[in-house]
Structure 1
Amino acid sequence: MTLTPASVRAAVLEQTERTRRCSKADIERFITESELRIISLDSQIDALIELRDSQRACVLALRYIISPIRTLPVELLVEIFDLAIQDYTHIEDVHLISQVCSYWRSVAQSTPRLWTRCLAVDLQEEKDVADGLNTWLARSAPLPLPIGLVLMTQSINPDILEAVLKVAPRLGSMEIAAMHTIPSLLVRQVGKCRLDHLVELKLFGTIEDDDADPTPISFTAVPRLRKLTIRLGSTTPQPIMPWAQLTDLSLHSSSPDVTFGILSQCANLFKADVVMSGWLLLPPAEQSILGLNQLHTLFLEFLEFIATSEDIASFFDCLSAPQLQDLELIFTPVQWPQANFTAFQLRAPNITRLAFASSDSLTSEDVVAAIRNSPSLTHLKINWCGQCFDDAFIRTLHYQDGATPLVPRLHNLVVSSEMADFTEDVLAGMIASRWWPDTELDSEVTPSAVARWTHVEFDIEEYEWGPQFEDILKDIPSDVLSY
């Protein structure tokens, strides 16, 4: 019999009519019987639901067994895991993968490379964190791994530090970052470890002087160390490092003796980032030429209100870099020692990239002299240098047929400024003189005397470019010219 709303209503009415003719005892007996039937039906429903859920679980298990991912080789599954783990969330990602099923957890925990992303370790964490850190580091064995130590105060949990130092021979890179200063005791503890695989060491924060232990900081068991970032205080003893094997050095020092003492030992430097603070003019007797014969890239910053023009001149007088190609200079607010820089350029004739930044004293004549002595220049960047980018400078870059160009290989120009100290027509004419369409380029019988622009960019604060400027340069693609 099929139940319908009408049949249900009819049954209810019939039952109601029947109960009117029954006694109270009959009605109570009927209620009891009905409640028992309801309990019986509920138990049957629960059993059926349990059976249904059991069958669903069985179906899911069977589908998992025949699913394509179940048939993947372990090596391919590991590749998928590796792609799914993002550097920024790698801790959460690898744990999520481990929670999918026991098989995935087994694969993940037995694959060391999934546990070798850069790990930031707070040295002030509690002991229970040390237990988890030990487990994590054990799963990365035997592979090298990068690690960063974060120190917000001078307090260090010895259990956390011990967990890190135990894997010191496997560290491929290490960073120690402090809110203010790095305790020299911590650096000494790290330096005493065997660091067989350490390629890069970064010490972000001035190393704190320790009167109780005046011995120099020493890193001698670092056969693979190539990159070093270090900041030294005015009284911090020069650390003992394998300077000769370094190829990349970032040095912030307030002592000229320490700076030159370190650079004089770095015969194989390819890249150097040197920040001068508290610079003092070297006595003339100490101004011997420092030859960095392998140096390719140099970033120099003289901190504001500390260095003088004589300081900068003294530094350039002491430096020789015959292989230098990439040079960036930040010097505020001192007068630019052009004659000393020109003499330095004669000892560095292969500069192709030159950048000036944050100098209100730099004049257009200074920039012209600098690029005139860099005949191989291909990239020029002028960032926030007052009024040096003016019409006089722009005209020196303007190319005219038959004339010898100043920097014939220049094809990349970037200028950022707070003001526009130029005439738009002069600038547009200069840019147009070094640009021609592809059709002309293909039809050239002899190469042009100057390189065609590949990138030109202007960032002038709150400046509105006129329609004539846009019209003159309308044929230059937006991926080449940006303003």
Structure 2
Amino acid sequence: MASNVLPGWLTQIFTTNDAPSPGQHQEILNALYPLRIQATELEDAIRTLSALRDTTCNTVRLMESAIHPIRLLPDDILREIFEHCVPWCREDGTARDTFPNEPFSAAYYNIFNVCRNWRAVAHAHPRLWTVLVIGPRFHRDQSYTSTMNRIQHTVEITHARAGSLPIRVHIPQSEKTIVGRELLLMVQTYGKQWGCMRIEGTTEEYDVLVILLNESSLPSLHELSLVGLSSGLSETLHIPALRHLRFEGAVQKTRNLFTPLSQITRCEFINSSPDSLAQMVNLEELIISCGRVSKNWRKPREPPLVLPNLTFLRVTEIDGGRSTIIVPLFNHFRLPALRTLYVHLPDTWRGSLIALDPSLIPDSIASLSIASDSIDGENAIRVTDFIRRSKHLHSLHVGGSQAPAILEMLATDLAVLSRLRNLYITPFDPISLHDTAHSLKAFTSARMLAGYAPLGPLRVYMRALNRQDDQAALAIQCVGGQELQVVDGKFDTFDNVPHI
């Protein structure tokens, strides 16, 4: 009610606590009735207009969606988008993080439920269906039969939609593993199309699974991961196309695990003792990430075995004690073709590289990465000997507290200065950055004085940069026109060097 429609006396009453007179009371009642009617009419009008506004806005949204550019996307662009929504279809290999957690993740349903066209495009795109997870956890409210029916349906539609593309299969460890006749039928029916396979489980589950695999045809299986095996297998696997083998948390107590092991060209031992390595005479790439090894490795092999085709080796120690795999590895094997070598030791490692004869390090190495925050001065000298031994070395990564000392020792070696083309440094921590700066200046100055061209982009890796650290790193005065790059992260691989 606007104040300009009220009598003056009524406005005055609003500002006091006085009661109106009988005449004023009647006058208020007479004026109140039409105002109430007017307020009701206004509320009805507001509701009508609000409903009209909502309907109009909804119509606008529908019309805008009808002309949205996404409706005009060709099918090939839609397929590209769908692959990003289901990223594991673009992965390869058998690492755990390349598989989804469930047979059908929410990503599939998000694609299917948009419209019939999207669903049709997704169903007709084989690449989306190249990953299969068999054996999810049993749901408490489902019987074994209903669970098996669901798994069987998943397997059937996956193979139907994948077309002729190879399929990566994951059989995870669960509360109850899917074993027996049903799984055997699945393997026998669809195993011919499986290219990669990851199996997780206990020893008892393995015995059953291995029998199933051995009784099935797997002509396309070229990569296999065995996870969690704690004892020797009772059966021998015959997989003719197998080339890549991965053990995770497994101990191999039989040499006849695969026949023949000479067909393996790439192998990974993750927290597993590499006891079956001696039979892999055609190995080209090897990754070992383990701590303590079996007794077979404690004494040098006489005569040592030769792995003539091995070009890539990554060794990561995961035990904080004094045991090591790097020393017995070179005592047991000769690697004349080795081109890329990674040696990464944990911060708590208390072993020693002194026992490793530098003459056992192949002089064919072109790329070398050695990093540890636990290497002392004596081990740093031995590392320097390894680097000098590598006559074809052109890419070097040094990490840890002794990195500055190693660089300063190398700065006096003209042979190393002449060979090196790329240098990567990971300081011990941001505090040691100034020591790194000093050693880098000494190294680049020595190269310039010797008349050698500047290195390729020199990279300093820092796991956690702040503004002060960043400025300090950028202030490193590398002479001779040397380009410097400060990387906020962790060194992983050399440029243009193949790795697993």
**TM-score (structure 2 length as normaliser):** 0.64
Q: Does 1:279 align with 2:294?
A: yes
CA distance in 1, matches of 2:119, 2:87: 18
1:180, distance to aligned residue in structure 2 (A) = 9.1
Identify which of 190, 199, 203 aligns with 2:213: 190
Instruction: Give 1:350's aligned residue.
Output: 365
Contact 1:182 1:207 in 2 (8 A): no
Instruction: Give 1:364's aligned residue.
Output: 380
1:267, distance to aligned residue in structure 2 (A) = 1.5
What are the equivalent positions in structure 2 for 1:62-461 lying under 5 Å apart? 78=79, 81-82=82-83, 85-87=86-88, 91-117=105-131, 119=133, 121-122=135-136, 124=138, 126-137=147-158, 138-153=160-175, 155-156=177-178, 158=180, 161-162=183-184, 164-165=186-187, 166-178=189-201, 183-209=206-232, 215-218=234-237, 220-223=238-241, 225-231=242-248, 232-233=250-251, 235=253, 238-251=256-269, 258-259=275-276, 262-273=277-288, 275=290, 277-280=292-295, 286-301=301-316, 304=319, 313-330=327-344, 332-338=349-355, 340-345=356-361, 347-357=362-372, 359-360=374-375, 363-384=379-400, 388-389=402-403, 391=405, 393-398=406-411, 405-406=416-417, 408-417=419-428, 424=434, 427-435=436-444, 448=452, 451-457=455-461
CA distance in 1, matches of 2:265, 2:107: 35
Matched residue of 2:229: which SS?
strand
CA pair 185-416 structure 1, distance change in 2 beyond 3 A? farther
CA pair 308-461 structure 1, distance change in 2 beyond 3 A? farther
Contact 2:290 2:319 in 1 (8 A): no
Contact 2:203 2:230 in 1 (8 A): no
CA pair 394-72 structure 1, distance change in 2 beyond 3 A? closer
1:473, distance to aligned residue in structure 2 (A) = 2.7
Contact 2:313 2:340 in 1 (8 A): yes
Question: AA paired with 1:226?
Answer: R
Matched residue of 1:363: which SS?
helix
Contact 1:383 1:416 in 2 (8 A): yes
Matched residue of 2:295: which SS?
coil
Contact 1:268 1:292 in 2 (8 A): yes
Matched residue of 1:479: which SS?
strand
CA pair 419-289 structure 1, distance change in 2 beyond 3 A? farther
Matched residue of 1:354: which SS?
strand
CA distance in 2, matches of 1:415, 1:76: 41
Contact 1:409 1:450 in 2 (8 A): no
CA pair 75-323 structure 1, distance change in 2 beyond 3 A? same
Q: What is the CA RMSD across the aligned residues, in angstroms?
A: 5.0
1:247, distance to aligned residue in structure 2 (A) = 1.9
1:352, distance to aligned residue in structure 2 (A) = 2.0
CA distance in 2, matches of 1:411, 1:139: 47
1:221, distance to aligned residue in structure 2 (A) = 3.3
CA pair 348-205 structure 1, distance change in 2 beyond 3 A? farther
Instruction: Give 1:41's aligned residue.
Output: none
1:79, distance to aligned residue in structure 2 (A) = 5.0
CA pair 313-181 structure 1, distance change in 2 beyond 3 A? farther
Contact 2:394 2:422 in 1 (8 A): yes
Contact 2:198 2:226 in 1 (8 A): yes
CA pair 77-303 structure 1, distance change in 2 beyond 3 A? closer
Question: AA paired with 1:365?
Answer: I
Contact 1:74 1:107 in 2 (8 A): yes
Larger Rg: 1
CA distance in 2, matches of 1:203, 1:192: 18
Which residues of structure 1 form unaligned runs of 5+?
1-11, 17-48
Question: AA paired with 2:246?
Answer: T
Question: AA paired with 2:387?
Answer: I
Question: AA paired with 2:372?
Answer: A
1:145, distance to aligned residue in structure 2 (A) = 1.1
What are the equivalent positions in structure 2 for 1:53-64 lying under 5 Å apart? none
Contact 1:416 1:459 in 2 (8 A): no
**TM-score (structure 1 length as normaliser):** 0.66
CA pair 406-396 structure 1, distance change in 2 beyond 3 A? farther
For these two proteins, the number of residue pairs brought into alignment is 410
Question: AA paired with 1:457?
Answer: Y
Matched residue of 1:304: which SS?
coil
Question: AA paired with 2:458?
Answer: T
CA distance in 2, matches of 1:415, 1:245: 37
CA pair 208-152 structure 1, distance change in 2 beyond 3 A? farther
CA distance in 1, matches of 2:454, 2:71: 61
Contact 2:433 2:473 in 1 (8 A): no
Post-superposition CA distance 1:415-451 (Å, at most 9, x none): 343697x794x64343134559xxxx9xx9x972663
CA distance in 2, matches of 1:78, 1:431: 49
Instruction: Give 2:485's aligned residue.
Output: 479
Contact 2:281 2:308 in 1 (8 A): no
Matched residue of 2:420: which SS?
coil
Post-superposition CA distance 1:287-326 (Å, at most 9, x none): 22211111111123456377757x7544323311122121
CA distance in 2, matches of 1:103, 1:466: 50
Contact 1:375 1:407 in 2 (8 A): no
1:379, distance to aligned residue in structure 2 (A) = 3.5
Question: AA paired with 2:282?
Answer: A
Matched residue of 1:189: which SS?
helix
Question: AA paired with 1:414?
Answer: I
Question: AA paired with 1:394?
Answer: L
CA distance in 2, matches of 1:69, 1:427: 52
